[in-house]
Amino acid sequence: MEFKGTQGEWSVEQELGYDCDVIHEGGEICWLGLSDVSDEEKYANAQLIAAAPELLKELQKIKLDIEIGV
């Protein structure tokens, strides 16, 4: 399975009391804006989203290891 999303490192920028952005080289991938969710939970959700490309890469390695019987 090939990752078809934005390539490269994703990171999180947070403005306390307002929003969190998942960004890539200055461009916004995802915005977690005003809601009833706490800043702490919003930031944790943004970190999980930002880790998606790396998580997929690791899952692909595990899948391959299982397929070749490592």
Rg (CA), the chain: 15
* Amino acid, single-letter form, for residue 41: E
pTM: 0.80
Question: What pLDDT does 33 receive?
Answer: 86
Q: How confident is the model at residue 8 (pLDDT cuts 50, 70, 90)?
A: confident
Question: What pLDDT does 46 receive?
Answer: 94
Q: How confident is the model at residue 35 (pLDDT cuts 50, 70, 90)?
A: confident
